[in-house]
Amino acid sequence: MKNRYHFLDNLRWVTVLLVLFYHVFYNFNSLGVFGAVGGFADHQWQDIFCTLLNPWFMTLMFVVAGASSRYALQRRTPSEFRRERTRKLLVPSTLGLCVFGFVLGLLNMSAAGAQMPEGVPVFVKWLIAIPSGTGPLWFIQLLFGYSLLLLLVSKLIKAERIERWIEGLSNVALGVLMLAFGVLLWGASQSQIDNPTAAQGLLNLYRPAFYIVGFLFGYYVFSTERIHTFLSERAGWLVALAVVSAVAFGARYYGVDYTAPAVVQSPLCNLYCWAMVLAMLGAFKRWADTTSPFADYMTRSSFGLYIVHMTACTAACLWLRGSGLPVWAIYALVLLLTFGGSVVLWEVLHRVPVLRYCVFGIESKRKRA
């Protein structure tokens, strides 16, 4: 096993940049998707960006996270892996909410028009804002649960045994395995609930039965070099399939709430998700399995940018929403402020010892030494 797979590193940070891009357009969407700041018109052509990104980019993040977990467990004992995941995932999604995430909670409440009665103590306002600030942290909360489950599953099903089995498969059999991945995604998508209660709405948001398919396939299948080669050799065809499915999905669901169960459960949505995940894996292995100073920086900082980006994005959206600037200028400025603000927040916060640990789960240099 190689020491580093640059194409997976690049996939991770590029997907994080897509998340930043997505949330700018999500905050201004006019499709009725929950939690947004609000659109500029009843119908906006730019909402298509959200429609085309939402079906697949978080699935890809879980696939990459699963593959990365495989490599992490090759270099760590299960106890070391559990401690590391607790620090990197559980701490930011709990302590991090208390010391930083509540700021996003206050911004979200402002976007929703929620106002606390006068005279409410600051401590109470802080407590109310904390759960509202979860935002993108749902990803690492779910990933922490998957990581603990993986420690149990990996004892029963050895990744090395699956890798040896994959090495012995013909190309036709590998194609069938890739099709099985798509079928399982579609089957898991049926766990979405129509007209959910508040608790069931959280289930629809987190989609644990769906994303675990990507995570476990990432761990057992997409971490193997045989699959890397298989997909990279067919990258051109996979990209073509992804483009065709994107056009079909966009044409079918343009102007519709893309998070509705009827959409995410549809065969077309899952076909598009499956095709994009395979295309991105194959294309990055074939054409982006390299690095650069910028890629190295993004590899080191992408996790931190992911954690703080929604605060920068929502603050910029609220500030500029009623500015009177042309709509295109608002989008351009919010994009710049989201990326630039995220970089500034990361660079500042990860240099403050207590915040470095609570917000990003980074140990002090003394402990790491």
Given a contact cutoff of 8 angstroms between Cβ atoms, the answer to whether 334 and 309 are in contact is: no
Question: Pick from 298, 281, 306: which is nearest to 359 by CA?
Answer: 306
- The pLDDT, as a whole number, for residue 367 is 54
Backbone φ and ψ for 133, nearest 5 degrees, come out as -95, 10
DSSP secondary-structure letter at 133?
A: T
pLDDT at 2 over 70: no
pLDDT digits (tens, 9 = 90+) for 288-346: 999 999 999 999 999 999 999 999 999 999 999 889 999 999 999 999 999 999 999 99
Residue 355's CB is within 10 A of a number of other CB atoms, namely 17
The domain ranges of the chain are: 6-368
Q: Quick: pLDDT tens for 86-95.
A: 999 999 999 9
The pLDDT value given to residue 366: 55
Q: Which residues contact 34 (CB under 8 A, 6 or more apart)?
A: 259
Decide: 358 and 91 in contact? Cβ < 8 Å. yes
Residue 163 has pLDDT above 70, yes or no: yes
CA nearest to 56, candidates 47, 46, 67, 64: 64
How many CB atoms are located within 10 Å of the residue 287 CB? 13
The beta-carbon contacts of 204-210 under 8 Å, at least 24 apart in sequence, are: 204/259, 204/261, 205/138, 206/138, 206/141, 206/142, 208/142, 208/145, 210/59, 210/185
Residue-level pLDDT at 203: 85
Q: What percentage of the chain carries pLDDT values higher than 90?
A: 83
Average pLDDT for residues 272-298, to the nearest whole number? 97
Q: What is the mean pLDDT of the chain?
A: 93
